[in-house]
Amino acid sequence: MKRKASKILSVTIIILYASLLIVSSTSLFSISSTLVGSLERAEDVRFDSTTNPLTGVVNLAVHVPIRNRGIVEVNVKVAVKLISADGTVVAEGFDSKRIGPGETKELLVVATFLRGTVDGADLAFECRAFFDLVGLSFSMRVETPTEGYPSP
């Protein structure tokens, strides 16, 4: 009796392990395909801004098209934090969407700040699949260039 239970348990563990490998590999394939499909055409990212000349308030909108070239649905999040010279967060915004296989959706990140207060930005991209259990994220800091540009 113990031998039969042990065999059933062993087969169950092998099936669960194989299922985990399949789910992980399809999720990682979809995540990496979405990442590559979205970042290979950086020129598709659009920046729109308007400035109120009286108050100096700038409204920035970043349009980021995301293409899911994978085989499972992914949850994608794009976040932007605008940073001042002393390192404080001046403005931030994010957007996230669930994108099915073969779909393209646009994420819209909006931030409002005063002109002349931004010295750089923290950009973050996160892509998750399989009930948000498997994911990949990366972030980077972009400094505002100071040389070769005229002063405002």
- CATH classification code of 2-143: 2.60.40.10
What pLDDT score does 41 carry?
Answer: 72
Q: How far is CA 107 from CA 76, 82, 110, in A?
A: 9, 18, 10
What pLDDT score does 145 carry?
Answer: 58
* Coarse DSSP helix, strand, coil percentages of the chain, rounded to the nearest 5 percent: 25, 45, 30
What pLDDT score does 57 carry?
Answer: 94
pTM of the predicted structure, to 2 decimals: 0.78
| C-alpha R_g of the chain | 22
Walk along the chain (152 residues) and give the pLDDT tens digit of each residue.
778 888 899 999 999 999 989 988 999 899 999 888 877 776 788 889 999 999 999 999 999 999 999 999 999 999 999 999 898 999 999 999 999 999 999 999 999 999 989 989 999 999 999 888 889 898 988 877 554 444 44
User: Rounded to whole angstroms, how far apart are CA atoms 16 and 40?
Assistant: 36
Q: How far is CA 111 from CA 72, 107, 118, in A?
A: 31, 13, 11
Distance of CA 27 to the CA centre of its chain: 15
